Amino acid sequence: MNPYNYQMNPRVLITLLLLATCGGCAWQSKLFPENGGAFAHQTHVINGTSFRLPDFSNVGYGEGKTGLPPRSSILVATSLSPLPGDNTAHIQHALNEVGLKPGMDTKAVLLTKGVYPVSDEIYIPSRVVLRGEGPGNTKIVMTKKENRKKVILAAFRSYARDRNPRSANWFKRPIDGKYYPLLRDIQVGETVISTQDVGEFKVNEFVVVKNTVTPDFVKAYHQGNLSYKAHDGASQAIWRGERFSIRYIRKVVAIDRERGTLTIDAPVRHALKVRDKSYVMHLPESEVGREIGIEDLSVGYVMPKGNARYRDVNSHGKDSRTHKATAIYFGNVIGGWVRNVRSFAHSGNDNDDLNLLSNGIRVQSSRFITIEDVVMRNPLNIGGGGNGYLFHPSSANDILITRSRAYNGRHNFSFGFVNSGVVISEFQSFNSALAVDFHTGLNHQNLLERIDFFYEKPTWNNNVLEMHNRQWKSSGAGLTGIDNVLFGINIFGPDELKVCLSDLSSTIGKNYAIGVQNLNYSNGLAGRACNLPPATGLWAENNRPGKAKKLQPYSLYQEQRKTR
């Protein structure tokens, strides 16, 4: 009975009921709201700090403009069937022959159904695709017992042995010995470079634009410190050496000889300062792999005996014969992909769960690579020193990892030295022994979106994802991330599991956490308390359980591509 004789309008009642349950309603970030039927960037200023999401629309194969090429568009130049015994030379000869065929079109070597034992690394040259007939049908198995730092499939280069002996690590020194110093600072978002001798460059050539690791550069991100004391009391330098430098692979799209400037195809994602002896250098076409694909197959190993101790994260994994053994490696490649690839457990192994010796996929010194529908699982070696990393971009630009899964690695994915423009989207991580992390160097402007973490029990420190100042760890890893975006992160497992970010001051840098379940904050070194209040350098929005599911748009990356 209504004592006030008030008849509620049914529409009002429905509205109130919806509001009462709006914990489950769809929502949008203030930095990327829908406006007039399309999502758009918005800038918000809080206490003098300006927040705006980075743009990732050019990430992945085809510069984000296209998806992967249809299989039907790639001519199968030759088909192979497995031979009895070792197939290394059999496969390598076919790849070399196809790679030497005239023309600029990408061609495929098809491995028909069967198991292909190999005893050495297989190198894939430019404009060649290594294709199988499906992961369950075409299987490549490494039989060699000594696999320290060895690779099964190497796209263009391998860090164990060079495809081209004249190649150099472009982030350490110019390949031709020529430096072209910057004449003014380049700010974030800029594409025009003022440098000496622009007449030495050509339109459409690739270059590397980078800084050097000066004391001022290190101090700016570490409260004036150049070193930290390790657990044994010894002083450990941070960001030591040129592998910690900021560096970008870019293409020259215009040259103004009167003004002495080069225009590059995409903005820099971090400022490059004259103070830090920044420069531009040539990246010769001969030193770059182009249009390389690996698809529709699986990779595995004959497991060595007596290595069970390396299944422990506290073991010295670098002492093993399996140290840094890697299934798939992309080195110095611009434009390539891995799709529909699995690791597998070789039927002859004693342990039918182990798939990999150590690492899964490493993408190094490369740009515009897409990894799609790939599953890496169950490595033997998850000991210290760089083992058990299942997806591992390092010194890479504009890489897309999507619709993929990782199981039981040391780090199911990990950002190595100074990546930028890496997008990991629609990724599932199962029981990573340690947190997936931004591991070493100043990784910046990367996007993690729609990541689901699954755990049967807590990690050693209850963290599932970490972005810290790791100080002296990992040879002076230092601060490992600024201007990165976490967007729609779910955790399925014990309640104490959490995402842990450093408490950045806005004077150092910013990070973005939008719809991130169980977000917490750390005062630095991984393993310390992760329960601080947020700092001024973090945009934190709706980071509570259940919020990721209703966050719109589903993919920040895809919406940015639409509005590019």
Burial tier of 505 (Cβ tally within 10 Å: 0-12, 13-18, 19+): middle
Question: Nearest to residue 130, comparing CAs of 399, 337, 326, 403?
Answer: 337
Of 36-40, 84-88, 365-369, the one with minimum mean pLDDT is 36-40
Whether 336 and 330 have beta carbons less than 8 Å apart is answered as: yes
Average pLDDT over every residue of 356-380: 97
pLDDT at 52 over 50: yes
b/e per residue 482-497 (b: at least 16 CB within 10 A): bbbbbbbbbbebeeeb
Quick one: pLDDT at residue 527? 45
Long-range (24+ apart) CB contacts under 8 A made by 73-77 are 74/106, 74/107, 74/108, 74/129, 74/131, 74/293, 75/105, 75/107, 75/108, 76/107, 76/108, 76/109, 76/110, 76/131, 77/101, 77/107, 77/108, 77/109
- What is the pLDDT at residue 16? 39
- CA-to-CA distance for 169 and 364, rounded, in angstroms? 10
Strand partners, 122: 153
pLDDT for res 474: 87
CA distance 309 to 307: 5
* Chain segment 67-107, per-residue pLDDT in tens: 999 999 999 999 999 999 999 999 999 999 999 988 889 99
Q: How far apart are CA 375 and CA 406, in angstroms?
A: 6
Categorize the per-residue pLDDT at 160 as very low, low, confident or very high, splitting at 50, 70 and 90. very low
Residue 354 has pLDDT above 90, yes or no: yes
Q: Cα 325 from chain centroid?
A: 19
* pLDDT score of 14 more than 50: no
How confident is the model over 472-491, as pLDDT tens digits?
Answer: 888 889 999 999 999 999 99
Per the structure block, which two tokens stand in for 523?
């005062």
Span 139-143, mean pLDDT? 97
Position 147 scores a pLDDT of 86
Strand partners, 53: none
Q: Is the dihedral of CA 67, 70, 71, 74 positive or negative?
A: negative
The DSSP secondary structure of 151-184, one letter per residue, reads: EEEEES--SSS-SSTT---TTTS-TTS--EEBSS
43's tokens? 């800038």
The answer to which of 220-234, 364-378, 447-461 has the lowest mean pLDDT is 220-234
| Residue 24, pLDDT score | 64
Amino acid at position 460, single letter? W
Does residue 443 surpass a pLDDT of 80?
yes
The whole-number pLDDT of residue 163 equals 43
Q: Is 553's pLDDT higher than 70? A: yes
Higher pLDDT, 228 or 1: 228
Q: What is the mean pLDDT of the chain?
A: 89
Distance CA 381, CA 386 (A): 10
> Can you list the positions of beta strands (E) in 72-157?
75-80, 107-111, 114-118, 122-124, 128-131, 138-142, 151-155
Asked if the model's pLDDT at residue 195 lies above 90, the reply is: yes
E strand or H helix at 382: none
pLDDT at 229: 83
- % of residues, the chain, pLDDT over 70: 89
